[in-house]
Amino acid sequence: MEWRVTVLCENTVPVPGLIGEHGFAALIESPNGTILFDTGQGFGLIANANRLKKDLKQVDKLVLSHGHFDHTGGLLAFLGVHGPVPIIAHQDVLLERFRLMPIGPTEKQVSIGIPWNESYVTTRGAIFQFTSEFSEVIPGAYVTGEVPRVTDFETGDPKF
């Protein structure tokens, strides 16, 4: 078997019958195991995997790139299909996150973080393996760990 990456959730829909959504999820299949990288918002993950004939029960590990809802929102749906699974993520993935959004004449903080707390998702099968270091997920596949911000433009959007 070769390495294969299948995008399950993304903004565009190149194939009729798939669900597009703001967010990202990809299935990485290899001879050494299968990784789900992010879960999208949760609208399209399961339906798109089924439409593309990808069996999410075969996933060995889930990697969450960061704690925004458009990358973590499908977590409960995935756990409902898969059951308990190791989740590789930075220890800050579960922190509350907000963005200033225009609501009427003012700006208000709107939650953009993972929609659930750790105890809620662990009772549904999430087995967190937190790391901020370069780590091997399965043989031949790695996470970079925390990437330091070293230039001025990396400070991020002030509305976050």
Q: How far apart are CA 47 and CA 8, in angstroms?
A: 9
Is 157 part of a structural domain of the chain? no
Q: Residue type for 27, please?
A: L
- What's the CATH code of the domain at 34? 3.60.15.10
Structural domain total, the chain: 1
pLDDT value of position 55: 98
pLDDT value of position 80: 98
Is 160 part of a structural domain of the chain? no
Is 158 part of a structural domain of the chain? no
The model carries a pTM of 0.92
More confident residue, 1 or 35: 35
> Which domain covers residue 18, as residue numbers?
4-146
Q: Is 154 helix (H, G, I), strand (E, B) or coil?
A: helix
